[in-house]
Amino acid sequence: MIPPKPASRPDKVSLWRYLRLFRADILSAQPARLYRAWMAEFRTPFFRSYLCNDPALIDLVLKERPEDFPKSERIREGLAPLLGRSVFVTNGAEWRHQRRIIDPAFERGRLHGTFPAMRAAAFAARDRLAAQAGQIVEVEAEASHAAADVIFRTLFSIPIEHEIAADVFRQFRAHQKAQPLLNLAAFLPLPRIFPRFHRRSTLRSARAIRALITRLTEERMAAIRAGTAPDDLATKIMTTPDPETGQPFDTAEMVDQVAIFFLAGHETSASALAWALYLVAAFPEVQDRVAAEVASLPDNIKFSDISRLSFTRDVFREALRLYPPVPMMVRQTLRPETLRGRRVAAGAQIVLSPWHVQRHERLWDRPDAFDPDRWQSEDGRRAARSAFLPFSAGPRVCPGAGFAMVEGPLLLAVLTRDLRFATVAGREPIPEAHLTVRSRAGIHLSVTRRDATSQLVSRLKQS
């Protein structure tokens, strides 16, 4: 069985057809040849874009000369109402200042300190799903709930049931429905004669989210001054000065950063977890191996126990490879370049696609197959070194990558230890991408308790 993959468009379509396909779904708007191409040029009367799958080009852009390929300013156009000038959209000295403050909060030692909050969110998610045992559950919504809970518990020491946390979660869902956060202009730099605008509902929900985050941030600032703040990620970030300038974030800067922590830590983690649950449901022998690995762990799972979940971690990695939460990244050229013998003008869009690189036919064996064991093979490890970038790479690698690689396997382990997931006939998910890779109509799975009685019933139904 091959997991679902979007259909590719015909190799040649009109610009207007391409724009319509792109607005519906980034992935199915691309031709099948991109799964074999090292580099592809997209020409229109208005712009040139270059999709780069060659690992050498990816290293050039992300690792060797990242300052020469900054994030496109057009990315901010869709994200500014919510994210302001967060670390996700800035460049140069401003970005370096932000990373110098943020990075220490996500060092491995800090992850150890946040683990109890992460574990509490995982068991809360298990309990919510267990209450729905025997039913068909839309797991993308449950994954979103779980990921948001992790963020609030680790960042501000409050569960998602807290009034402000619940309000932020509701407003964020409204914001997504109002307008996909990934702006079409980030990938398709049309001339400025085309209007740039945001829907009123988008602006309204962004203002509401930022007002709630401002309230949380101001309350935490007051607690820090009073010496009563909990030792969580928010406190760590807000009390860390830039080692070069001595300046910490002020309230306005912190609001921008909390907005991207919530977006990146919630939306991307939810996407990865939902697809991981679908894959273990579609491959029950893999699910049973995960459950067997987790069964040996104590009920009170500790941070050190995560290192024992080697197969569970490989399952999560394979889910990230097949369904990278952020399917494409956009950079721009500051000066003329020559890439694979092609002259590229200054200001051109450079698109790096984890979706295509991680399924590239020249880089991976059986690229569309779900095979967690590939991560223990030499071929799989070699491919991963050059063609696995769900968190980007180089200086701009996601600061929360280590956090995500603890959170994801932990949630997957806790859920599959006590619950069994199965696919539903006729409801295969169809991947599509706007901000992250999600299913067009959700991911629906049946959920049962993983105990002796439910396993016996399951076997009887299958016989």
Query: CATH no. for residue 183?
Result: 1.10.630.10
pLDDT score recorded for residue 147: 92
Instruction: Name the residue range of residue 88's domain.
Output: 15-462
Residue 181's pLDDT band (boundaries 50, 70, 90)? Answer: very low
Residue 3 lies inside a defined structural domain of this protein = no
User: Mean pLDDT for the chain?
Assistant: 88
The half-sphere exposure of 245 on its side-chain side, counting CA atoms within 13 A, is 12
- Over residues 176-181, mean pLDDT: 52
Does residue 459 register a pLDDT over 90?
no
pLDDT in tens, 191-227: 544 444 456 777 887 888 889 899 999 999 999 999 9
Q: For residue 125, what are the contacts with CB-CB under 8 A and spacing of at least 6?
A: 142, 145, 146, 149, 411, 414, 415
pLDDT: which is higher, 299 or 151: 151
Residue 113 lies inside a defined structural domain of this protein = yes
> DSSP string of 2-47?
----PPPBPS---HHHHHHHHHH-TTTTSBGGGGT-SEEEEE-SS-
Does residue 428 register a pLDDT over 80?
yes
pLDDT in tens, 80-131: 888 889 998 899 999 999 999 999 999 877 888 999 999 999 999 999 999 9
Residue 116 lies inside a defined structural domain of this protein = yes
Are 166 and 1 in contact by the 8 Å Cβ rule? The answer is no
Residue 52 lies inside a defined structural domain of this protein = yes
pLDDT score recorded for residue 177: 56
Residue 123 lies inside a defined structural domain of this protein = yes
Among 187-201, 326-340, 350-364, where is mean pLDDT lowest?
A: 187-201
Residue 462's pLDDT band (boundaries 50, 70, 90)? Answer: very low
Reduced to 3 states (helix: H, G, I; strand: E, B; else coil), residue 233 is: helix
pTM: 0.91
Instruction: Please say whether the dihedral angle defined by the alpha carbons of residues 111, 141, 289 and 371, taken in this order, is positive or negative.
Output: negative
The residue ranges of DSSP E strands in 27-185, in sequence order, are 39-43, 48-52, 135-138
Residue 5 lies inside a defined structural domain of this protein = no
Q: In this structure, what token pair is assigned to residue 59?
A: 């290293």
Residue 221 lies inside a defined structural domain of this protein = yes
142 class by beta-carbon count within 10 Å (0-12 exposed, 13-18 middle, 19+ buried): buried
Q: For residue 245, what are the contacts with CB-CB under 8 A and spacing of at least 6?
A: 97
Number of domains in the chain: 1
Residue 326 lies inside a defined structural domain of this protein = yes
Reduced to 3 states (helix: H, G, I; strand: E, B; else coil), residue 200 is: helix
